[in-house]
């Protein structure tokens, strides 16, 4: 009977608190991962867009240079 009382008063509530804390920690980890993934994707998209703009600018300048260089 004392063992059941100890389970009901101490071990089960302690286990429940540990599960709630683990759930909260995992939720924070998931939020952190999602946030950093979204930031990484946006950063990569901006970097790719910037590289595309540089490439296009180079091609346009090269095109006009080629036209103006012909006699």
Closest C-alpha to 20, from 28, 9, 10, 32: 28
Residue 4: per-residue pLDDT: 86
Is 58 contained in some domain? yes
Residue 70: per-residue pLDDT: 62
Residue 50: per-residue pLDDT: 81
Is 3 contained in some domain? no
Backbone angles phi, psi at 70, to 5 degrees: -75, 140
Q: How many domains does the chain have?
A: 1
Residue-range definition of the domain harbouring residue 70: 8-71
Residue 36: per-residue pLDDT: 78
Per residue in 16-71, pLDDT (tens digit) is 899 889 889 888 888 888 887 777 777 777 778 888 888 888 888 888 777 777 65
Is 1 contained in some domain? no
Residue 65: per-residue pLDDT: 78
């Amino acid at each position: 009977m004392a063992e059941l009382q100890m389970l009901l008063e101490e071990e089960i509530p302690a286990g429940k608190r540990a599960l709630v804390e683990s759930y909260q920690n995992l939720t924070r980890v998931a939020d952190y991962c999602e946030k950093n993934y979204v930031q990484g994707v946006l950063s990569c998209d901006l970097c790719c867009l910037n590289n595309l703009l540089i490439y296009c600018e180079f091609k346009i300048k090269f095109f006009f240079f080629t036209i103006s260089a012909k006699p």
